[in-house]
Amino acid sequence: MGRGGRERNGQTGARALDVAALAGVSTATVSRAFNAPEKVAPEIREKVLKAAAELGWMPHPAGAALASRRTWLAGVLIPTLDNDVFASQVGALQTRLSADGVTVLIGCSNYDADQAANQVRTMLARGVEALAVVGESHRPGLFETIAARGVPYVVTYSHRPGSPHPSVGFDNAAAFRRIARHLLDLGHRDFALIHQPSIDNDRVVARIEGLRAALAEEGMALRPQHVREGPASITFGRQSLRSIMEAAGPRPTAVVCGNDALAIGALIEARALGMSVPEELSITGFDDVAMAEQTDPPLTTMRVDNAEIGRQAADYLLACLAGRPPPPPPPLESRLILRASTGAPARTA
């Protein structure tokens, strides 16, 4: 920000000082509202963002980029680089945007909400014209900050009914309800759940809610000792299954896993425990990674067209940049891929 709040917007001539005066705050507060919104009280931040929007002001260097009309940059925020799911999504999005001359900047939060906020602020400061952000669970003020700068955005990998954000993805809760329904229809009544960390991850929270809701409809619930939360890895899948099977009380006959890596770990550990899948234990995954079809037995899992999420997100952002924002697309369908890792429990076979 220029000295004394003299930074001007290239198109409107508005200054940070003008925003501060209209909002009734200091220029330092204006700066914090954009660059560190978590440090500003929500009601104050809202006043600043409203004043900035009324005056058409945004901070440097984004303002300088706007003054030159186009930066041809778009930002993508993903939670990890270690997952083929997001690699496929970003690859398809980048291909579609590149065809229109837009370069993609990629930010990775490592499932850390503070890192996510910092990545978004950095991309906005570099003048990105559009943003694709995985999920809705972010620090307060993040989406308001994006909107206040006039930057179109879209939430990906999630499509929650009633969401205030334009979204391209699928209904995570409905996907897990479908998995639960499949297992219930096979005759399973004792379930276990192995899932990724749920903090700041609305996709995982929605899936858990979907499973619990499906079980509740049948008058059932997950036993606390049969729920394990931890890293989305094969190792944690193995550790979790052993812990579940060694827990007191009835053993589950079906294990629902938050992704394929966890499910593959559970399959490996079931064999190490001398358990037959699916005769003694049914196991499901999520994502349908390439390895899911190659396991022994092949893994029943949920398939999502992640590349299509990337393409639709790119199309939505390009339409916004062209001045014709379309209605957000309907949710994509997740598809249950039935393979040999699920079957009727032995006692009802």
Strands 191-195 and 227-229: parallel
pLDDT at 60: 61
Q: Which residue has the higher pLDDT, 4 or 307?
A: 307
| CATH architecture, domain defined by 73-170+306-330 | 3-Layer(aba) Sandwich (3.40)
pLDDT at 65: 47
Res. 54 pLDDT band, cuts 50 70 90: confident
For residue 339, the surrounding DSSP H or E stretch is none
The pLDDT of residue 8 is above 70: no
Prior bond of 42 cis (ω within 30°): no
The CATH class, in words, for 16-68 is: mainly alpha
Separation of alpha carbons 215 and 194, rounded Å:
16
Q: Give the tens place of pLDDT for each residue, 282-330.
A: 999 999 999 999 999 999 999 999 999 999 999 999 999 999 988 878 9
Going by C-alpha positions, the residue among 15, 316, 31 that lies closest to residue 167 is 316
Do the domains at 73-170+306-330 and 172-303 have one common CATH topology? yes
The pLDDT of residue 67 is above 70: no
Q: Which residue has the higher pLDDT, 141 or 62?
A: 141
Q: Where are the domains of the chain?
A: 16-68, 73-170+306-330, 172-303
Q: What angle do CA 329, 332, 335 make, to 5 degrees?
A: 170
User: Residue 75 forms beta bridges with which residues?
Assistant: 105, 131
The pLDDT of residue 269 is above 70: yes
For residue 126, the surrounding DSSP H or E stretch is none
Strand order in the sheet with 130-134: 103-108, 73-78, 130-134, 153-156, 167-168
Res. 37 pLDDT band, cuts 50 70 90: confident
How many Å separate Cα 171 from the centre of its chain? 11
pLDDT at 71: 87
Q: Which CATH superfamily is domain 172-303 in?
A: Response regulator (3.40.50.2300)
